[in-house]
Structure 1
Amino acid sequence: MKYRGWILPPALRDFYEGRIWLKEHSPFPKDHIERVIECNYFHIIEGIQKEPHLKCNRCHNQDPWQFTMFDCSKCEQSCIYCRHCLQMGRVSSCTELLIWIGPRAIRSRKHPLKWAGQFTVLQQRAAKEILESIKAKRSHLLAAVCGAGKTELLFPSVHYALEQGLRVCIATPRTDVVLELFPRFQTAFPSTIIHALYGEAPKQQGYAQLVLATTHQLYRFEQAFDVMIVDEADAFPYIIDETLQRAVKKAKKKDSPIVFVTATPSQKLLHQYRNNSYSFIPKRYHNYPLPVPRFCSLWSYEKCFKRGKIPGKLKQWTEERLVLNEPFLIFFPKVELMKIAAPFFQVLDASITTVHAEDPDRKEKVLKLRNEEVRGLLTTTILERGITIKNVQVAVVGAESTIFNSSALIQIAGRVGRHAEFAEGDIVFFHHGITVEMDDARTKILAYNKEGFPQ
């Protein structure tokens, strides 16, 4: 061997195991990568497969409209690159993708679970069913209402898998859900190396047997996980993006099970799992009914904001929250409208601020609301799920807008009443006309309550 006496850095092995990575974007010195290649620890594949059809070998995109030809300065030829996963670094015809085939990282089997909570009868049954499916390597669907304690239900199964020396991934379409789950799993598994992967995530050390990641980050993994859990499995963009769904499948090992977790399962998931591997929890852990949305007309609200004032009913609702010292979320259908409205709310209270998908400070703003440093947040659907604020009250402005489908409205309503001490709360849909989606959301919530609390 050319590099005699060279010892493989454990950090390099720990980083690359299970990943598919651009050679030119390696976080390790170039000479280390070349030495590992000499040792045949990497399988190297081309970035873009041309035959029998175009395919990106990282994200598995096969849509011909998502590829572009360009004059490449690297290989000095005409190259094709994938636009679909461009945000993670360009993959082109001459790109080399590295897949680790060297020594495996050392996996611990000691992962104490430090959770002292108690399951309800329904939670215990669902947790047992999920665990049985994982042991049988059988995929499973958990449908449970918002606030049913879905995260805690996963603890026994994650604990079992980790102590078997398995690698677990909990994937979700939303960064905010990763940020919400990360500290909860750190508290539950204090001796386990856990990584949280999302856009602009800080560098994290060690080999993570438990990975929390956005579904986009799974483009960078290949047959890495023994157990795959998809939280918020109905959320945008995962629910409509086939490449994200393929990313979940390629990131897990071939025979590894997938556990789908959601409060609002799609008909496709229900059809696939309802009759064989399915758990359903129709009520919350604290045994109180789900808050039912009320409808309140807010005619011509856009014109009102553009004239420089808050519509009267919405202003009154906000002032009541401020007087009662209740934290609140007000959902808007468009970022532009939210930004127009923000200064008028700040007249009521200067701490009220906005949050949206492109806001780099959204993590800090949510934390400030939780810590009572701000009174309320104006938000887009970015906070429709994966966020728990004690005693939060919620309003939707423009609930008739197409962006607020029934699933989104159910999730938004599910932010209210999650805490046992504040199991009730106000969820109001301000609208310019009641839609079928609004009616459907309310009807489903009433049906959940009827099933969870039969007469």
Structure 2
Amino acid sequence: MATPRTDVVLELYPRFQQVFQKITTHALYGGAENNAEFAQLVLATTHQLYRFEHAFDVMIVDEADAFPYNYDEALQRAVMKAKKADAPIAFVTATPSNKLLLQQNRENWGYSFIARRYHGHALPVPRFQSLWNYERAFQKNKIPQKLQKWVKQRIQENEPFFIFFPTIELMEQATSLFQKLDSTIESVHSEDPDRKEKVLQLRNEQRKGLLTTTILERGITIKNIQVAVVGAGNPVFTSSALIQISGRVGRNVQYPTGDIVFFHHGITMEMDRARNKILEMNRHE
């Protein structure tokens, strides 16, 4: 199984080990320990597939629309080279790109649509909340009032949370302000060497919440997580990104609901598309 994001490999690896206890499973990503032992099941970032040629009997590409795989033709060729010539390949994603759908239609691939989660509950639907002049507030070293109220409620109710920011600069500007509410709150981004540990600490209830960029939009499952998006109208938050971010909420069978709020200073078409797509999926039985 290949995926563009290291975080997805780190998330899936212990789950696969738990389910497939009688076979050897390897996780391959940048910085992982080398292991020469043969593995029947390999979880790898797509970059790691440059190491293989005609090696795999079955290839599954998870989060097939994610950056950088969806833009990088070299990575796409590496995936095809790594599997055996006659090996089947499956592309898995909640938000297939137009390119992937066109290819599926043109080449007449098989297609499966799963609208419901394993626990059978509806997907949490994002709500829209205005947050005017939020950038100016952070520049004045203040958390916007509505956002601060939301965070305080999460802390009071002992609910872990993600707050997604459109830029690293704005997120880092805000981090120290949130730490005044609770010292365990931290921030993560793609170049953060401690990202893996910070996410694990949140999962283990050692942190109240994380501020993050879109790096954590996929593949992360935290029990009872609540999610806010700051500046949801920013172009970085495409409808696909907002659907994936919303998908962090309600994944656990014990906590199948939760809050997903898009804080904005103007509702965009991408926000509407994301919400409408989630509502559409909830109409399927």
TM, length-normalised to structure 1: 0.61
Q: Which residue of 1 aligns with 2:96?
A: 265
Distance 2:56 2:270 in 1: 37
* TM superposition shift of 1:317: 0.4
Does 2:53 correspond to 1:213?
A: no
* Structure 1 residues 284-323: aligned runs within 5 Å: 284-323=117-156
SS at match of 2:35: coil
Higher RCO, 1 vs 2 (CA within 8 Å, ≥6 residues apart): 2
Does 2:7 correspond to 1:176?
A: yes
Distance 1:286 1:171 in 2: 25
* Structure 1 residues 293-442: aligned runs within 5 Å: 293-442=126-275
Match of residue 194, structure 1, among 7, 14, 25: 25
Distance 2:19 2:104 in 1: 29
Q: Which residue of 1 aligns with 2:65?
A: 234
Q: Look up the equivalent residue of 2:71 and give its one-letter code.
A: I
Deviations 1:234-293 (A, max 9, x none): 111111111111111111122211111111112232233366511111111111111100
Distance 2:15 2:140 in 1: 44
Deviations 1:303-362 (A, max 9, x none): 111110101110010001011110000001111111100000000000000111111111
SS at match of 1:281: coil
Distance 2:145 2:137 in 1: 9
* TM superposition shift of 1:209: 2.0
Q: Which residue of 2 aligns with 1:254?
A: 85
Q: Which shifted more, 324-333 or 247-256? A: 247-256
Q: Look up the equivalent residue of 1:199 and give its one-letter code.
A: G
Deviations 1:385-438 (A, max 9, x none): 101111100000111111110111000000001112211110000112111111
Q: Look up the equivalent residue of 1:304 and give its one-letter code.
A: A
Distance 1:312 1:446 in 2: 29
Distance 1:336 1:220 in 2: 35
Distance 2:236 2:16 in 1: 31
* Structure 1 residues 55-66: aligned runs within 5 Å: none
Structure 2 gap ranges (5+): none
* TM superposition shift of 1:183: 0.6
SS at match of 2:267: coil
Deviations 1:39-85 (A, max 9, x none): xxxxxxxxxxxxxxxxxxxxxxxxxxxxxxxxxxxxxxxxxxxxxxx
Q: Which residue of 2 aligns with 1:142?
A: none
Q: Look up the equivalent residue of 2:97 and give its one-letter code.
A: S
* Structure 1 residues 124-139: aligned runs within 5 Å: none
Structure 1 gap ranges (5+): 1-169
* TM superposition shift of 1:205: 3.7
CA RMSD of aligned residues (A): 1.2
Distance 1:336 1:197 in 2: 31
Q: Look up the equivalent residue of 1:435 and give its one-letter code.
A: T
Q: Look up the equivalent residue of 2:246 and give its one-letter code.
A: A
* Structure 1 residues 46-125: aligned runs within 5 Å: none
SS at match of 1:390: coil
* TM superposition shift of 1:215: 0.6
Distance 2:163 2:78 in 1: 33
Q: Look up the equivalent residue of 2:118 and give its one-letter code.
A: Y
Distance 2:73 2:270 in 1: 24
Deviations 1:202-230 (A, max 9, x none): 12240122111101111222221111110
Q: Look up the equivalent residue of 2:171 and give its one-letter code.
A: M
Distance 2:239 2:26 in 1: 33
Q: Percent identity?
A: 68
Distance 2:93 2:279 in 1: 18
Q: Which residue of 1 aligns with 2:111?
A: 278
